[in-house]
Amino acid sequence: MTLDIIEERGLAGATYRTIAAAADVPLGSMTYHFPNRDDLIFIAFERFANDLFSPLDESMGDLEPGEDPRERLVRMIVTDSHDRRRDMVLLAELYVLAIRDERYAELMRQWMRRAKDAVSRHIHGVSGHVVDAVQEGIGLQRYFLPQEFTEDVVRRTLHDLIPQEETT
């Protein structure tokens, strides 16, 4: 519910009152379970980071023998989720928080390390951080310019970045 309010109204609009009203929960219950608004927001973004990480982790899971991990990344990038706009709005809000607040910055660093580790399981010779940064950047570009960042462009980019001999 908290993330829905943040998506609709922005972080400033996500107050105890708006979240409690949307969840149909008494305000006192909110303050009992979440001593301050930041704890509520942080827990919501922590869950969001885990949910948003799942497709990358699944994409880079166990590969079949001979399967190209670059193709898994291509599929993940070009497969638009039904909540793509929501994810983009929430990610933008999280980035702003991470730039302003060390607690959120650490959440982002943990997420980035997890992404690097997921990529590095099957891609060698190219930093997992670099591959993650490229796939995230392509995802952002694809959101705004889908006709220019076609599946073929995504595939060529990843194949140029990651030579075949760097994959397992």
Domain ranges of the chain: 2-166
Distance CA 156, CA 46 (A): 33
Give per-residue pLDDT as tens, 24-46. 998 888 888 888 899 999 999 99
Report the pLDDT value the prediction gives residue 60, as an integer from 0 to 100. 84
Report the pLDDT value the prediction gives residue 82, as an integer from 0 to 100. 67
Q: Is the pLDDT of residue 167 over 70?
A: yes
Helices of type H across 10-150:
16-23, 27-33, 37-59, 69-78, 84-100, 102-120, 128-144
| Mean local confidence (pLDDT), 138-145 | 92
Architecture of domain 2-166: Orthogonal Bundle (1.10)
Which 3 state secondary structure label does DSSP give 19? helix
Between 136 and 57, the more confident residue is 136
Q: Is the pLDDT of residue 63 over 90?
A: no
Report the pLDDT value the prediction gives residue 27, as an integer from 0 to 100. 85
Average predicted confidence (pLDDT) for the chain? 91
